[in-house]
Amino acid sequence: MGVLNYSVSYASLFLFFVFATIPSPLFAQIFKELSHHHHHHRHRGGVHVALPESDVELLEFPLNLEYLEAEFFLWGALGHGLDVVAPNLTEGGPSPVGARKAALDPLILDVVTQFAYQEVGHIRAIKKRVKGFPRPLLDLSATNFAKTVNNALNRELNPPFDPYANGLNFLLASYLIPYVGLTGYVGANPKLKSARAKRLVAGLLAVESAQDTVIRTLLYERLLTKVYPYDFTVAEFTNRASHLRNKLGKSGVKDEGLVVPPVLGAEGKIQGNIIAGDRYSTAYDRTPEEILSIVYASGNASVPGGFYPNGARGQIAESYIKRA
């Protein structure tokens, strides 16, 4: 113990003489630099960490989809959206059009509520890394969903499809949403340059993929159920919806329903298709252009519509509008 005290005393004495010999203006400058250095590291987990510009753009783009998912699930489960749950995240962006509480049974309500808060977390996670942008105008009206379903089935349903009418309809409408974001994250990951951006996208992709699988599994249990009051089954709906997205994306098969020809199933041996994947059962990828073409329901990244009447936001999405 005596040796330790002796060493500490000499160390303290040494530091005293060092700082005593530094002119006060220089000492103040050193202290300022040290404080600045500490401040920078304190924010390394936040927006202040510089990312390559291309990474910033690729991280901001999926905010469009996270806003869409958050609002749809929040409204469906709780009857209100980000304006109530996390108004700061909207940055004053317009409230969604036509969103409302869905008539959900207890199990579906529980699942959708979990999804809703997960999506709020996703928005926070992205905005922790990049500045982002205000919530875009979203059309979550039953009329908009009905148009998409009519296009998928290639006929006009009567009465029009209403995603908020019951739990099954809401699950079918949900089938249209998270998977698009999932393929976008798969497509973005190899283009990212920084480890931080890649880590964030990997984390987001894992949860989006899990959400999509839960939706597909719940629908798979109802595979042969007819969607009341129509004459099509759940299986037919998923196949037609996936076909529509492939058609709008214009990049071949990157979307599959719950039942596929065996040649498209895992190892080319099975029809059941709870998890969509390519010939090696790895996830499909999509580019921002393909995603915009799908969510705009126009087949053209330069022609807004569908869920985004005024278009999506961010450098990537807005660059397509400028080209038009």
pLDDT tens per residue across span 190-228: 999 999 999 999 999 999 999 999 999 999 999 999 999
293 and 265 Cβ atoms separated by less than 8 Å: no
Establish if 73 belongs to a structural domain.
Answer: yes
**What's the CA gap between 147 and 251, in Å, rounded?**
22
Establish if 42 belongs to a structural domain.
Answer: no
Establish if 61 belongs to a structural domain.
Answer: yes
Residue 89 CB neighbour total at 10 angstroms? 21
Number of domains in the chain: 1
Helix (H) or strand (E) holding 186: helix 178-188
The pLDDT value recorded for residue 17 is 41
**What's the CA gap between 131 and 287, in Å, rounded?**
22
The pLDDT value recorded for residue 35 is 41
Whole domain around residue 99: which residue ranges? 51-323
Q: What is the pTM of this model?
A: 0.85
The pLDDT value recorded for residue 27 is 43
The pLDDT value recorded for residue 21 is 44
**What's the CA gap between 285 and 181, in Å, rounded?**
10
In order along its 324 residues, the chain shows pLDDT tens digits of 444 443 444 344 333 443 444 444 444 443 444 444 333 333 444 444 689 999 999 999 999 999 999 999 999 999 999 999 999 999 999 999 999 999 999 999 999 999 999 999 999 999 999 999 999 999 999 999 999 999 999 999 999 999 999 999 999 999 999 999 999 999 999 999 999 999 999 999 999 999 999 999 999 999 999 999 999 999 999 999 999 999 999 999 999 999 999 999 999 999 999 999 999 999 999 999 999 999 999 999 999 999 999 999 999 999 999 876
Establish if 82 belongs to a structural domain.
Answer: yes
Establish if 22 belongs to a structural domain.
Answer: no
Establish if 43 belongs to a structural domain.
Answer: no
196 and 46 Cβ atoms separated by less than 8 Å: no
Q: At 119, give phi and psi (nearest 5°).
A: -65, -35
**What's the CA gap between 310 and 163, in Å, rounded?**
22
Establish if 123 belongs to a structural domain.
Answer: yes
Establish if 9 belongs to a structural domain.
Answer: no
65 and 181 Cβ atoms separated by less than 8 Å: yes
Q: Using alpha carbons only, what angle is made at residue 114 by residues 71 and 172, rounded to the nearest 5 degrees?
A: 65
The pLDDT value recorded for residue 322 is 83
The pLDDT value recorded for residue 279 is 94
Q: HSE on the CB side for 315, CA within 13 Å?
A: 11
